[in-house]
């Protein structure tokens, strides 16, 4: 079992949820094992950013992004699925650039093109 730590963003996201949803997310995180984190299946996604491995856990309508440091997991972000913030985090773009991307018309045309397919 891993020790869990939460960033300010992830604590804020947890506090917005009702108690049942909070317990569900924390239960999924705390039930992770070494085998699950090292498996090559799609249960937990992974990518590298700045030399550090980030993991992505999908739980219902949420995406939990965390890193591992020995016997602890540091939860960096809890984001709703299919949101711009989730897209930016997965694509390794700084979340601060979210407003710049929204202002670029080509971004909206790209999204509209995806919706038509």
Domain definitions of the chain by residue range: 3-116
pLDDT at residue 97 in the model: 47
pLDDT at residue 75 in the model: 92
What are the phi and psi torsion angles at 49 (to 5°)?
-145, 125
Strands 52-59, 44-49: parallel, antiparallel or unpaired by DSSP?
antiparallel
CATH for 3-116 (3.40.50.300, 3.30.2130.10, 1.10.10.10, 3.30.2310.20): 3.30.2310.20
pTM metric for this prediction? 0.71
In this prediction, the residues of the chain whose per-residue pLDDT falls under 70 are 41, 84, 87-90, 92-117
Residue 69 is encoded by which pair of tokens? 């440091």
- What lies within 8 Å, CB to CB, of 47 at 6+ separation is 53, 54, 56, 90, 92
Using the structure block, give the residue that is written with the tokens 């711009």. 84
pLDDT at residue 115 in the model: 62
Residue 110 is encoded by which pair of tokens? 């790209």
Q: What radius of gyration, in Å, describes the C-alpha atoms of the chain?
A: 15
């Amino acid at each position: 079992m891993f020790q869990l730590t939460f960033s300010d963003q992830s604590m804020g996201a947890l506090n917005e949820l009702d108690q049942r949803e909070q317990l569900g997310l924390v239960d999924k995180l705390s039930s992770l094992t070494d085998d699950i984190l090292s498996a090559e299946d799609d249960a937990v996604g992974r990518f590298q950013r700045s030399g550090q491995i980030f993991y992505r856990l999908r739980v219902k309508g949420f995406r939990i992004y965390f890193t591992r440091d020995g016997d602890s997991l540091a939860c960096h972000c809890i984001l709703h699925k299919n949101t711009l913030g989730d897209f930016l985090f997965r694509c390794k773009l700084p979340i601060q650039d979210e407003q710049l991307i929204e202002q670029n018309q080509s971004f909206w045309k790209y999204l509209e093109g995806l919706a038509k397919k």
